[in-house]
């Protein structure tokens, strides 16, 4: 088993080629990936794009166009809206000759605003010992098993990946947080996964600052509508406090 979510196989015609490992496997099926690793590999393509020096990603919007299979896949990224202060970048993930996911990100020029740094969300405390929440103990997969998890009494789930995103690489801070952010759908679940599917079709993440350290805390809450559609909203933390928010659209149907 590859000790990473992806193994880089090389590059061809402007694409980077990878092989997905068993650590990417979703709880919804053994032949598809959890939403977190594809979100992170799409973010990696945008974060490492040439011509974006002096800026940092502030928002990532990922659209999952269908099941993301295991095996070989490839990514590429481009600057869709150039600018010295604000840029829009885009990336896509292709498998089996079709685009299975795509993402866009706003990159903003970095500057010093530490004197006025603030957030409306109160800091949360990382538990001292591992404690898997009952939900993630009952509902597991290759990806969920790849995480070290600490469940706090206040309902926040803290997690960090046991493996790098790409074998032989060190994750950037934004890649690191995107390896975790998609678990908000599970953290905020209000339905039993043995009775209901609640598949998220997207992940929108706003980061007012980059994470510090390895642990990411996720506080999330789901809402279920009367017509098979729902939404999950979440707040992301590190040990210094809140760092961003997430939104996910849900397709809800009985198993």
**Residue that has been written with the tokens 């919804």 in this structure:** 28
Whether the CB-CB separation of 209 and 236 falls below 8 Å is answered with: no
Q: For position 133, what pLDDT does the model report?
A: 59
- The average pLDDT across 81-105 equals 96
pLDDT at 22 over 70: yes
Domain boundaries, the chain: 6-110+128-254
Whether the CB-CB separation of 43 and 103 falls below 8 Å is answered with: yes
> The whole model's pTM is what?
0.94
**pLDDT tens for each residue of 156-166:** 999 999 999 99
Average pLDDT, the chain: 93
* Confidence bin at 68 (pLDDT 50/70/90): very high
Measured in degrees and rounded to the nearest 5, phi and psi for residue 131 equal -155, 105
Whether the CB-CB separation of 59 and 190 falls below 8 Å is answered with: no
- Options 3.40.50.880, 1.10.357.10, 1.20.140.70, 2.40.160.210; CATH for 6-110+128-254 is 2.40.160.210
Q: For position 155, what pLDDT does the model report?
A: 83
Q: For position 127, what pLDDT does the model report?
A: 87
pLDDT at 93 over 60: yes
């Amino acid at each position: 088993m590859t000790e990473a979510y992806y193994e880089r196989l090389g590059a061809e015609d402007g694409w980077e080629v990878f092989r997905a490992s068993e650590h990417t496997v979703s709880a919804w099926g053994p032949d598809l990936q959890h939403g977190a690793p594809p979100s992170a590999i799409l973010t990696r393509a945008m974060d490492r794009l040439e011509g974006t020096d002096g800026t940092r990603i502030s928002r990532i919007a990922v659209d999952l166009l269908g099941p993301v299979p295991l095996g070989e896949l490839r990514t590429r990224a481009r600057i869709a809206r150039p600018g010295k202060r604000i840029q829009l970048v885009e990336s896509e993930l292709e498998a089996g000759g079709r685009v299975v996911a795509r993402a866009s990100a706003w990159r903003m020029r970095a500057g010093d605003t530490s004197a006025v740094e603030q957030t409306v969300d109160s800091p949360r405390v990382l538990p001292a010992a591992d404690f898997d929440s009952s939900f993630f103990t009952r509902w597991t997969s290759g990806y969920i098993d790849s995480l070290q998890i600490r469940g706090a009494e206040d309902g926040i789930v803290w997690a960090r990946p046991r493996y790098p995103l790409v074998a032989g690489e060190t994750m950037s801070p934004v890649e690191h947080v995107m390896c975790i952010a998609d678990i908000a759908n599970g953290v905020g679940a209000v339905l039993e996964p043995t009775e209901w599917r609640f598949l998220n079709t997207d992940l929108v993440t706003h980061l007012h600052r980059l994470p510090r350290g390895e642990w990411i805390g996720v506080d999330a809450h789901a809402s279920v509508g009367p017509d098979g559609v729902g939404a999950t909203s979440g707040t992301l933390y590190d040990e210094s406090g809140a760092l961003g928010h997430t939104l996910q659209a849900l397709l809800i149907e009985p198993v």
